[in-house]
Amino acid sequence: MKTFFVQIKCEIGKTYEVSDNLLSMNLASEIYSTAGRFDIMAKFHVDNDIDIGLFVNEFLLNLKGVKDSETIIAFKAFL
């Protein structure tokens, strides 16, 4: 299993719409609104054979209201 985070910058006034659409897709394990350069941070877990770049491009960057994103790939969880 691979874990990664995607920070999403939304078009002005579209943060809640993007968040609702992301929730309805049932892909993210957690979704947060954030302050700073990005409006949303979402956490994902995918099988090892999934291409993260393709996943982000197909499922996230095509969402209406998404302006930009930055992906952070997690290596190890220190729990």
H or E stretch covering 67: strand 66-73
Band of pLDDT at residue 28, cut at 50, 70 and 90: very high
Average pLDDT score over residue span 57-70: 96
Residue 29 has φ and ψ, to the nearest 5°, of -80, -25
Band of pLDDT at residue 79, cut at 50, 70 and 90: confident
Average pLDDT score over residue span 25-50: 98
Domain at 2-73, CATH class: alpha beta
Band of pLDDT at residue 23, cut at 50, 70 and 90: very high
pLDDT at position 48: 97
Q: Is 0.85 topped by the overall pTM?
A: yes
Q: Which residue has the tokens 């897709």?
A: 25
